[in-house]
Structure 1
Amino acid sequence: MKTIYFKIIIILGLIVNTISCKAQTLPLNTLMDDIPANGHLKDLNNELSPYVGTYKASYGGNEIILYITKIENRLEERTNKNFYRDALVVNYVVKNSSGIILQDTKNNNLSNIELYSTRTRPTLNTVIFYYSGTNCRIGWGDIFLKKINNTQISWEYRPDDIVLTTGDCPQGTDKTIYLPETKDLIFTKQ
């Protein structure tokens, strides 16, 4: 008799565990208030994959190379809860006309500079990114990438703050924003 009760308890435990795991898998654009602690915003409709790749554009005499990868289960740590999100992460290299690297988040591991997707607008073929800004968060804001076709994306950068508002930035720190502050810049897939 004990074995029957034990088996029933195990089966019920597995069912509850399966249901609770599935209940935490949510679409990418779920509102923050609707995301449970340790929930997972999953790319259920494959909205992110078409953007993955290496893209190039020229702007203001500089060459900008974007390296876009898809990360599943990226941890989002917020003050009121942690959760996971499938996201696009962008690393980039900016070179001047002489080929000198001005900024490199791909090879230099500049952990203080982040650029990752936070939501999508599927009807507009657009992914919205959070950009942490350069040193001392200068230039932080949103970047919008719109899929034009299989080889091109359109770039729009909307900085929320382009000037240093705090005195916490060490003297001699490079305060230049190297990403193009523009709209409708076309990047071509390589």
Structure 2
Amino acid sequence: MEIIQSKIILALTLIINLMSCKAQTLPLNTPFLNIPNGAHIKDTNNELAPYIGIYRAIFNGFETTLFITKEENRLEKRSTKQFYRDALVVKYTIKNSAGVTLQSTQDNNLNIASIFSISTEPTENTINFIFRGTNCNVGFGEIKLKKINSTQISWEYKPNDIVTTASKCPPTLDTKIYLPETRDLIFTKQ
């Protein structure tokens, strides 16, 4: 009887301890290997807020509008762990010179063509993003936004191998990359 009571007390103690545990909160630039399962990577220094807003730029006759918002507790699923991250999410609209929308993710609630922040470089005033690409992941790559002043950001986009990705896509899907493939493009806050 005494052994059963000891086991019950031990089990209750473990349950209470587990219930009182909170996920570990870590700063934005915590290296991936140092992030425990279930942790929260938090914007503790408010590094993301200056980028929030609507920005526009013209490049090669196309108008690109970025809609940048902050998402707290964004679930990140990796092969070895899951954790939560405060991140910037970018949705966009691209129009031609006649004002016709060529591509828009503004009303897209899916992760298709999503752009989200993965790290910051505070000394450079830069935020690094991953772009998942559009149809068949065409355009998958890295985007960097650098804060120039309170109303302007600089854009750099480097897509990965477009030809290989597009060749695996059905011919009926649009595999054109509409995002500006350039660096030092200035976007102005609206």
Q: TM-score under structure 1 normalisation?
A: 0.87
1:162 CA drift (Å): 2.1
Counterpart in the other structure of 1:21: 22
The share of aligned pairs that are identical, in percent, is 56
Cα separation, partners in 2 of 1:110 and 1:61, compared to 1, 3 Å:
farther
Counterpart in the other structure of 2:4: none
Given that residues 63 and 94 in structure 1 are in contact (C-alpha distance below 8 angstroms), is that contact kept between their aligned partners in structure 2?
A: yes
- The one-letter amino acid paired with 1:105 is T
Counterpart in the other structure of 1:113: 113
1:44 CA drift (Å): 0.5
Given that residues 64 and 92 in structure 2 are in contact (C-alpha distance below 8 angstroms), is that contact kept between their aligned partners in structure 1?
A: yes
1:161 CA drift (Å): 2.0
Q: Deviations over 1:39-61 (max 9, x none)?
A: 01000100001000000000010
Given that residues 136 and 164 in structure 1 are in contact (C-alpha distance below 8 angstroms), is that contact kept between their aligned partners in structure 2?
A: no
Given that residues 25 and 41 in structure 1 are in contact (C-alpha distance below 8 angstroms), is that contact kept between their aligned partners in structure 2?
A: yes
Residue-pair matches, total: 179
- The one-letter amino acid paired with 2:29 is N
- The one-letter amino acid paired with 2:188 is T
Counterpart in the other structure of 2:142: 142
Q: Deviations over 1:132-162 (max 9, x none)?
A: 1121111111000000000000000011222
Query: Alpha carbon RMSD of aligned pairs, Å?
Result: 2.1
Specify every segment of 5 or more residues in structure 2 that has no aligned partner in the other structure, as ranges.
1-8
Matched, 1:157 2:157: yes
Counterpart in the other structure of 2:74: 74
1:110 CA drift (Å): 5.7
Moved over 6 A (4+): none
Q: TM-score under structure 2 normalisation?
A: 0.87
